[in-house]
């Protein structure tokens, strides 16, 4: 069995760990680890890439920032926070993972996540699939017309667009109108049957925000601002995000 020897340089400290401790309340408790392993026991990503939450935290504590940036495990982490709930010291390991992702070069980040984030920033629709306002409106109207014609009992089904003062502003996963438009209909029917006062927006309608997953906080904030403005401009009282 071969083993890997990692040389620890004297006085080396973790940049990632220190930044997280400065950001999180009480330093995210990152210095309170008992190495009990409870964080790893319930982690869905434990063992992938030869890594687990306990090992990840210990490497950060030892200043092995370069090694953490060369491991893809930070992208396997689901950010589910089971490790925090299991940890007797409530250590915020996801906060540490988030900081590692944030420092990952953009051109090295997973293409699907990074590409979806960049795509959403290109348009006020915020669609990770790149769907523009015209395409979005066309798909909704086309699917709605088909349901009204072919499904008895739903002749008066509504899928409002930019309805002023509607109670609910509904977001929609942007993959559905692009690849699975019929998947939008069941929710329309539920809202119809309960008599909900709702609307889609032509702007800010996409529900997802992939910038959060790659920890592009500036991009994440810009997308949230566009969506919030769309809700406010229509005067809706409740924002329903299906993601």
pLDDT per residue as tens digits for the range 78-105 = 989 999 999 988 888 888 898 889 888 8
User: Taking the chain, what is the end-to-end CA distance rounded to the nearest angstrom?
Assistant: 46
Which pLDDT does position 119 carry in this prediction?
95
Which pLDDT does position 21 carry in this prediction?
64
Please enumerate in sequence order all residues whose Cβ is within 8 A of that of 36, keeping only pairs 6 or more positions apart, or say none. Answer: 88
Provide DSSP, the chain: ------PPPTT---HHHHHHHHHSGGGGGTT------HHHHT-TTTTGGG--HHHHHHHHHTT-HHHHHT-THHHH-----HHHHH-TT---HHHHHHHHHHTS-GGGS-HHHHHHHHHHTTSTT--TT---HHHHHHHHHHHHHHHHHHSTT-TT----BS-TT-SEEEPB-THHHHH-GGGGHHHHHHHHHTT--EEB-SSS-B---GGGTTT-HHHHHHHHHHHHHHHHHHT-SEEE---
Q: What is the pLDDT of residues 25-52, one digit of tens each?
A: 565 567 778 889 999 998 999 999 999 9
Can you tell me the mean pLDDT for 8-23?
A: 59
Q: CA-to-CA distance for 195 and 86, rounded, in angstroms?
A: 42
Q: What is the pLDDT of residues 173-230, one digit of tens each?
A: 999 999 999 999 999 999 999 999 999 999 999 999 999 899 898 999 999 999 999 9
CB 119 within 8 A of CB 127: yes
Instruction: Report which of residues 13 and 110 the model is more confident about.
Output: 110
CB 207 within 8 A of CB 171: yes
């Amino acid at each position: 069995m071969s083993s890997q020897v990692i040389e620890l340089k004297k006085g080396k400290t973790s940049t990632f760990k220190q930044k997280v401790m400065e950001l999180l309340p009480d330093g995210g408790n990152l210095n309170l680890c008992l190495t009990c392993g409870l964080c790893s026991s319930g982690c869905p990503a434990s063992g992938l890439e030869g890594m687990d939450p306990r090992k990840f935290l210990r490497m950060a504590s030892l200043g092995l920032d370069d090694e953490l940036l060369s491991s893809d495990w930070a992208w396997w982490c689901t950010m589910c926070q089971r490790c925090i709930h299991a940890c007797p010291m409530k250590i915020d390991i996801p906060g540490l993972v988030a900081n590692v992702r944030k420092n990952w070069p953009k051109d090295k980040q997973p293409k699907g996540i990074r590409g979806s984030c960049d795509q959403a920033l290109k348009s006020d629709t915020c669609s990770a699939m790149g769907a523009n306002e015209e395409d979005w409106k066309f798909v909704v109207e086309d699917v709605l017309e088909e349901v009204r014609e072919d499904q008895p009992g739903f002749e008066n089904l509504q899928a409002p667009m930019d309805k002023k003062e509607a109670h609910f502003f509904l977001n929609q996963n942007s993959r559905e109108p692009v690849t699975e438009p019929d998947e939008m209909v069941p929710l329309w029917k539920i809202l119809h049957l309960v008599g909900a006062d709702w609307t889609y927006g032509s702007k800010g309608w996409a529900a997802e925000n992939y910038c959060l997953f790659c920890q592009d906080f500036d991009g994440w904030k810009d997308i949230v601002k566009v969506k919030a403005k769309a809700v406010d401009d229509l005067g809706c009282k409740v924002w329903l995000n299906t993601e």
